[in-house]
């Protein structure tokens, strides 16, 4: 069970790094709960699709040094990684975008049921990100 969950999360991040948004969504439960870092919770694949479209418009990102931890029963997982990105277009409420590059650690927590991700909670240090793109 835990190896299947590890593979699920690894596939999720491989899809992210290839900008394969369709595959990412396919790995999610229809009613996935998505906790946005320093934001609210959105529910459902359609909300997640809209989130990915917004992110792709504003940011170009890749993850590296991905480390995945999975509970023995495979129902919970966590990942830690480095986000390397470029800020393309100003996002609402954030500093102006001028193609600034950034690099910062991030993490996510997952719940898994029946081979699908039912919750993903993303976390990163927004102050660090703002400081980097404001330099």
Residue with tokens 């792709």: 56
In this model, does residue 135 exceed pLDDT 90? no
pTM for the full predicted model: 0.93
Terminal C-alpha separation, the chain: 45
Tokens of 11: 């596939």
Torsion of CA 87, 92, 93, 97, to 10 degrees: 30
Six-digit token string for 94: 């954030």
pLDDT band at 39 (very low <50, low <70, confident <90, very high): confident
Residue 1: its pLDDT value, please?
74
Please report the pLDDT score of residue 38 as a whole number.
83
Edge-to-edge strand order for the sheet containing 116-124?
Answer: 41-43, 28-35, 116-124, 101-113, 76-87, 59-70
Question: Which contiguous run of DSSP H or E holds residue 50?
Answer: helix 45-58
On whether the CB atoms of residues 87 and 102 are closer than 8 A, the answer is: yes
State yes or no: pLDDT of 46 exceeds 80.
yes
Could you report the per-residue pLDDT of 11-33, keeping only the tens digit for each?
Answer: 999 999 999 999 999 999 999 99
What DSSP state is assigned to residue 14?
Answer: H
Average pLDDT taken over every residue of the chain: 95
Q: Would you state the pLDDT for residue 25?
A: 93
Q: How many CB atoms lie within 10 A of CB 32?
A: 21
Kindly list the structural domains of the chain, giving each domain's residue range(s) and its CATH number in brackets, ordered by start.
Answer: 2-134 (3.10.450.50)
pLDDT in tens, 79-122: 999 999 999 999 999 999 999 999 999 999 999 999 999 999 99
């Amino acid at each position: 069970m835990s190896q299947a969950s590890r593979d699920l999360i690894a596939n999720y991040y491989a899809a992210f790094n290839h900008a394969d948004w369709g595959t990412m969504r396919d790995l999610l439960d229809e009613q996935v709960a998505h906790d946005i870092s320093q934001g609210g919770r959105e529910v459902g694949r359609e909300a997640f699709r809209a989130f990915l479209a917004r992110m792709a418009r504003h940011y170009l990102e890749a993850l590296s040094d991905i480390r995945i931890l999975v509970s023995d029963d495979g129902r919970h997982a966590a990942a830690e990684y480095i986000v390397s990105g470029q800020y393309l277009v100003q996002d609402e409420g954030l500093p102006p975008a001028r193609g600034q590059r950034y690099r910062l650690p991030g993490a996510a927590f997952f719940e898994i049921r029946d081979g699908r991700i039912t919750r993903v909670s993303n976390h990163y240090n927004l102050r660090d990100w703002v400081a980097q793109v404001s330099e």
